[in-house]
């Protein structure tokens, strides 16, 4: 099983290894993080990983800014993200 670790952006990091799957299709690589329902594509594995890190960080920030106005499904997603994503240590 492959996992993603480390920082997501300047403010976020993964608090535990995140399981990922990698698929090569024609000229593209698709990387999926099933636990977070997030997917990205790139022409190389490095591009797809960079896009996945950005997609996870963007979604985390989006859910975070909703605060108490999150829907029930968004609250469940927020809890799921909380299992893997944490503020970066300074």
Asked whether the whole model's pTM tops 0.85, one would answer: yes
**Alpha-carbon gap, residue 68 to 8, rounded angstroms:** 24
For 63-90, the pLDDT digits (tens) are 999 999 999 999 999 999 999 999 998 6
3-44, pLDDT tens digit by residue? 999 999 999 999 999 999 999 998 999 999 999 999 999 999
Q: Give the pLDDT confidence score for residue 87 in this predicted structure.
A: 95
CB atoms within 10 A of CB 29: 19
How deeply is 76 buried, as exposed, middle or buried, from its count of CB atoms within 10 A (0-12, 13-18, 19+)? exposed
């Amino acid at each position: 099983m492959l996992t993603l670790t480390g920082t997501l952006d300047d403010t976020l990091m993964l608090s535990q290894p995140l399981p990922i799957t990698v698929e090569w299709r024609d000229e593209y690589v698709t990387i999926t993080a099933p636990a977070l329902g997030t997917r990205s594509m790139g022409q190389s594995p490095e591009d797809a990983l960079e896009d996945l890190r950005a997609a996870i960080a963007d979604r985390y920030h989006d859910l975070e800014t909703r605060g108490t106005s999150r829907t029930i499904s968004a609250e469940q997603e927020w809890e799921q993200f909380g299992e893997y994503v944490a503020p970066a240590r300074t």
